[in-house]
Structure 1
Amino acid sequence: MFVITLRFADKTRAPQFMDGHNAWIRRGFDDGVFLLVGSLKPKAGGAILAHNASAEEIEARVKDDPFVAQGIVSAEILAIAPGRTDERLAFLKG
């Protein structure tokens, strides 16, 4: 499982790449990799919870985000090996 943070580096250019960024997010959900996408508060960027992919696949996917490619955000990928979960999230331990 991975937690990905996308922190703004140049927010002023975000509007011109927003459609591409949103399409990238949709692909992550359509591919079954993204579980959750949300905003970092206050207006600091975004975060993603991802699974069903290798570290290399996650890195490649993140580099494919137009916001990352254009330097609008800086990305950090944290790999997590779930050891204990609430029963509703037990599927993450697989």
Structure 2
Amino acid sequence: MFILELTYTAPLDRIDALLEEHVAWLDAGYAEGVFVASGRKNPRDGGVIIAVGRDRHAVEARVASDPFAVQGVAEYRVVEFVPTKTAAGLEGYRETLAV
């Protein structure tokens, strides 16, 4: 599982101009079962996406296709983690640590 942290590198008017394209990109990720949750950070200087996948390269390629990244208005930090505990209803995302 991955936490994708976006940090805006451009003024909000440039972010807002690309927001519709970014949301369409998010919708595609949800439709493909890759994104679990997403939203703006508070204060509004970026966002966070929780994504599933076992292949970091594929997740990084997806991130690179975000209109925010393509247009250079946001940078991503990709954090991979192993969710060994989850809230009720998220059991399907639990993983076991490799020994």
Same fold (TM over 0.5): yes
CA positional deviation for 1:53: 4.8
Structure-1-length-normalised TM-score: 0.90
Computing the radius of gyration over CA atoms, which structure comes out larger, 1 or 2? 2
Whichever structure has more helix as a proportion of its residues is 1
SS at match of 1:88: coil
Q: Percent identity?
A: 31
Structure-2-length-normalised TM-score: 0.86
CA positional deviation for 1:13: 1.2
Kindly tell me the number of residue pairs found equivalent between the two proteins: 94
Of structures 1 and 2, the one scoring higher in RCO (CA 8 A, sep 6+) is: 1
Structure 2: runs of 5 or more not aligned = none
CA 1:39–1:64 in 2, change beyond 3 Å: closer, same or farther?
same
SS at match of 2:89: helix
RMSD value, Cα: 1.4
Structure 1: runs of 5 or more not aligned = none
Superposed structure 1 runs of 4+ greater than 3 Å apart:
none
